[in-house]
Structure 1
């Protein structure tokens, strides 16, 4: 692949594209917010608010390694606005599921990011 395979899209346009596509990849009742990362042009900040009585909120940093591959890292987990320990089984399962959804979203946007 080499150096030609970097991202060639404005971070604001990329965030808007993710904001359009990601809701189709997560549960219908969940909501998400996608914004450009202020410190990295090839990264996005994604917050997923999980519906249900638990009121979990997952914050991810999604970094484009190249035009196709993303690295999703969990930044924070909150429950009803309070930081919680992300090492519990239920939260690990949520992180795993939503990380997969983030990768699916990146794949769905290939034609946009791999110009």
Structure 2
């Protein structure tokens, strides 16, 4: 009964699943890139490029705590390839929105990640 609830899916398969599921969770015009985190087999790197005139790019690290729960860390925010202040209200609002969308996507993929 002490079997730990661990993620039991190949990282490449996981990244593929996120690539197909995440666009359903974010705004239609936004673009998401999902890559395996080469330094951590339980993590993915997600970049979300916002649509419209803002042209922000958000980099997140998504780490599976267990087969269902993820920890989302904001790595960087850029605008036109330059790092921007992440503390502004608009950026904080977008970070909160994208973090929520990432958690929603993790929930949607539970059928795959929770063996």
Q: What TM-score bracket applies, with the shorter chain setting the length?
A: over 0.9
TM-score by length of 2: 0.97
CA distance in 2, matches of 1:23, 1:2: 36
The question of whether the paired residues in 2 share the 8 Å contact of 1:11 and 1:41 is answered with: yes
Q: For residues 46-76 of structure 1, give each alpha carbon's deviation from its aligned partner in whole angstroms, at most 9, with x where no partner exists.
A: 0000001010000000000000000000000
> Which of structure 1's runs of 4+ aligned residues deviate more than 6 A?
none
Deviations 1:11-52 (A, max 9, x none): 000000000000000000000000000010000000000001
Counterpart contact for 1:59–1:74, Cα < 8 Å: yes
The two structures have a TM-score, normalised by structure 1, of 0.97
- The 2-side partners of 1:57 and 1:71 are apart by 19
Q: Which ranges of structure 1 fall in alignment gaps of 5 or more residues? A: none
Aligned residues: 115
Runs of 5+ unmatched residues, structure 2: none
**Within-5 A mapping of 1:33-112:** 33-112=33-112
SS of the aligned residue for 1:5 comes to coil
C-alpha RMSD of matched pairs (Å): 1.1
